[in-house]
Chains A and B, each alone.
Chain A
Amino acid sequence: MSSSDTPPSLYAAREPVFPRRVSGFFRSMKWVIMAVTLGIYYLTPWIRWDRGPELPDQAVLVDLAGRRFFFFWIEIWPQEFYFVAGLLIMAGLGLFLFTSALGRVWCGYACPQTVWTDLFILVERWVEGDRNARVRLWNAKWDFRKFRLRITKWTLWVLIALATGGAWVFYFTDAPSLFVALLNGTAHPVAYTTMAILTATTFAFGGVAREQICIYACPWPRIQAAMMDEDTITIGYREWRGEPRGKLKKGQETGEQGDCIDCMACVNVCPMGIDIRNGQQMECITCGLCIDACDDMMEKIGKPRGLIDYLALKDEAAERAGQAPTPILKHILRPRTILYTSLWSAIGAALVFALFIRPEINMTVAPVRNPTFIVQSDGTIRNVYDIRLQNKHGEARPFGLSVSNGSDLSIDVEGVDGTLVTVPADETYQVRVYVDAPATSDAAHAERTPFTFWITDLNNNDRAYKETIFNGREN
């Protein structure tokens, strides 16, 4: 066993990252995706959707108190939560598919952590200037200017964070009325608490922690290795072309020097603070900004673009050996991606199918087993059923109840004259139903007689049924 005099520290301080401004194809794509995703997030709760007078008119609404999820024309009841589970499975498989085909495109472009961090860095740059100015400000003593810039930046961040937390609560109740209530202080404390927590986390994650979340808090970077292989198109550095790297000096160009001029442009623009030339690494979110930065530099020095590029590991090796790279389509179409795609499509198709065959009215029948039957004074045998009638329409509907078994069972509904039940809008309504078999009938004497309950929506003659059993006296 050997020991050194000063053992290395087990804890490392965070090294601040100051990404430099960059422009190019991938940067533009990130701007567009940021605008679209933020737009969807902030604006969705304000879209209206008419569902009739008894139902909320918010297009996307998670009604926790009423246990309903509204999504445009779709309304999910708690027992239909499998739709949400299905969507989550699809989201997972989609993530697998994109990761195995294109690496961490989710992380680089669409992950909320990336989008909000990007937005926070943009604000930071507006207020404090580009990379060099920010590094200087970081190292500068606390004077009035630093204080003013920091306060301005933090204020803007807090406003963004507040809007983020604010938008979140709008998904859970009527957005316009909640907005007014939030302003005049009459909103529910839960709304304020949720906003406060999300404001704090947005500020901390997007403004302060940033890449630390991706590296230390997020499980995905650790899992992604299982999704990626040498065919996955990811960010790579053409080492065979770039090395040996060296500063470009006028008149000293030799054939031995590679294309990399060690300008550090790729490192300076990296929001994760890594050097892509060390190869793929866990921190890399494959956002492509280093490609933009390097391409820009290559053009300036008159070298071909693509020293850093989206490429498969297999191609890097092939190019090094002087062979032609595999066509992109061949990389993407491979058993793994085809399997993910077919699973994803199968679940999607099943969900759409389930959505279309889903009835607007439904019922559940629970025979009362305590007791299994009742003898009336005239010898009539009575069975009791708890029936739950589901009306998914945005208005109260009259439901007609009936039984069919070809026998002489008759029905009576507790608390109602006749067999017509008015079920309130968008509700499950429980009724107790008595089914009587005359003393001399077969059903009264048989051990068990199957029969069917029917409900008919008298407004449009939609029907639903449930099969159940009538218990006789067994003699």
Chain B
Amino acid sequence: MSKKTQDKHEVETTGHSWDGIEEYNNPLPRWWVWVFYATIVWGIWYTIAYPAWPMLKGATAGYLGFSTRADVAADIAAVEEQNAALTTELASIDLTTLADNAELHQFAINGGAAVFRANCSQCHGSGAAGAKGYPNLLDNDWLWGGSIEDIAFTVTHGIRNDQSGDARWVEMPAFGDILEEGEIDAVVNHVLSISGQEADATLAAAGETVFLDNCASCHGDAGEGNRDFGAPTLNDAIWLYGGDFDTLKETVTKARFGVMPAWSEEFRPGVGLTAAEINAVAAYVHQLGGGE
């Protein structure tokens, strides 16, 4: 009896022996083996139920019809359905009251950020800081107005384009055909002086007359600009193309002709922005720090 119990826990060998080296047999529990078989069965079922086997044209679809692409489409549809009420409201809202509706305002800003990245950042920069010829949208200077409605109008119709009849369009003449070079040098010095930069006092004084005769009708007597014409303020620190002598001279001589497309789907069928998207991007740009 005692012998038997003691032997019970001796480890058996498989009976295999190589050069006197024997192999212990520590048997696996049988239920474990069955679990292993079950995983094989599960694996086979899985390849039948889900897309798995590579064929000549794509993989087998699986009888459950699962597709990650369809899942994404369903998720997007679900989100759009969830946001449908907000989107409808945003499309028709009076933009001046948007900030009073905190939820809708946040919805517009978040959506507008995405619209901006996809459509506007190519010119205005991903941080909206602009570039030479492309206005910085973060500062407090606006060519055509910085209220949320002004911004929405600019996005809808664009600037100096043939798409929209309502596009903002006033054109600066090339004064190289109108003024003598000496007059241009003088007026540029005047502009340098009114914007607080170093200038030749004599030329600047002479340039004031040239300025009042040729430029003031759009840019204002003091160079304060005029938004009705999209005429930039000249007596400040912000320059769209550059405020140094050479750049200013080039601007006066050859003029500038910045174009922005009309973004509304009205003028770009199929690829333009919806009313809700335009309001969203206007709300986004308006709250970047410069909005009026």
Interface residues of A (CB under 8 A from B): 1-4, 7-14, 212, 216, 244-246, 262, 267, 274-275, 277-278, 281, 368-371, 374-379, 382, 384, 414-415, 432, 434, 439
Contact = CB atoms under 8 A, between A and B. Distances in A.
A370 B29 contact: no
Interface in B93-119: 99
B126 A370 contact: yes
Nearest to A267: B5
Contact of A375 (B13, B17, B127, B238): B238
B25 interface: yes
Contact of B127 (A1, A212, A278, A368): A368
Contacts of B8: 275
B140 A376 contact: yes
A8 B27 contact: yes
B30 A11 contact: yes
A9 B99 CA distance: 78
A212 B31 CA distance: 10
Nearest to B289: A434
Contacts of B14: 7-8
A200 to B, nearest CB: 15
A278 B28 CA distance: 21
B9 interface: yes
A274 B6 CA distance: 11
Contacts of A245: 2
A256 to B, nearest CB: 14
B287 A10 contact: no
B31 A14 contact: yes
Interface in B227-248: 233, 236-238
B289 A377 contact: no
A377 B141 contact: yes
Given A14-B30, A379-B236, 14 more contacts: A1-B16, A2-B16, A8-B12, A12-B28, A12-B30, A14-B29, A212-B31, A245-B2, A281-B9, A371-B136, A375-B238, A378-B236, A379-B196, A434-B289
A133 to B, nearest CB: 23
B39 to A, nearest CB: 15
A9 B2 contact: no
Interface size class of B (residues with CB under 8 A): 35 or more
8 contacts: A2-B16, A7-B15, A12-B27, A368-B127, A371-B127, A378-B236, A382-B289, A414-B287
A374 B5 contact: no
Given A278-B9, A281-B9, A415-B287, A376 B28 contact: no
A370 B127 contact: yes
Contacts of A7: 14-15
Contacts of B17: 1-2
Nearest to A212: B29
Contacts of B236: 377-379
B73 to A, nearest CB: 23
Contacts of A384: 138, 289
Contact of B28 (A8, A10, A244, A374): A10
A419 to B, nearest CB: 15
Interface in B193-232: 196
B29 A12 contact: yes
A439 B64 CA distance: 67
Contacts of B25: 8, 10
A245 B237 CA distance: 104
Contacts of A378: 236-237
B125 interface: yes
Interface string B250-292: 0000000000000000000000000000000000000101000
A216 B32 contact: yes
B278 to A, nearest CB: 21
Contact of B30 (A13, A275, A379, A415): A13
Can you list the 4 inter-chain pairs with the closest CB atoms, starting with the nearest? A370-B127, A371-B129, A12-B27, A377-B236
Contacts of B126: 370
Contacts of B233: 377
Given A8-B27, A414-B287, A374 B18 contact: no
Nearest to A370: B127
A378 B195 CA distance: 9
Nearest to B287: A414
A273 to B, nearest CB: 11
Nearest to B32: A216
A51 B18 CA distance: 72
B15 A4 contact: yes
Contacts of B28: 10-12
A129 B138 CA distance: 82
B162 interface: no
Contacts of B2: 244-246, 262
Contacts of A376: 139-141, 237-238
Contacts of A1: 16-18
B33 interface: yes
A289 B282 CA distance: 77
Given A1-B17, A7-B14, A414 B289 contact: yes
Contacts of B9: 274-275, 278, 281
B1 interface: yes
Nearest to A371: B129
A374 B15 contact: no
A468 B184 CA distance: 46
A11 B127 CA distance: 67
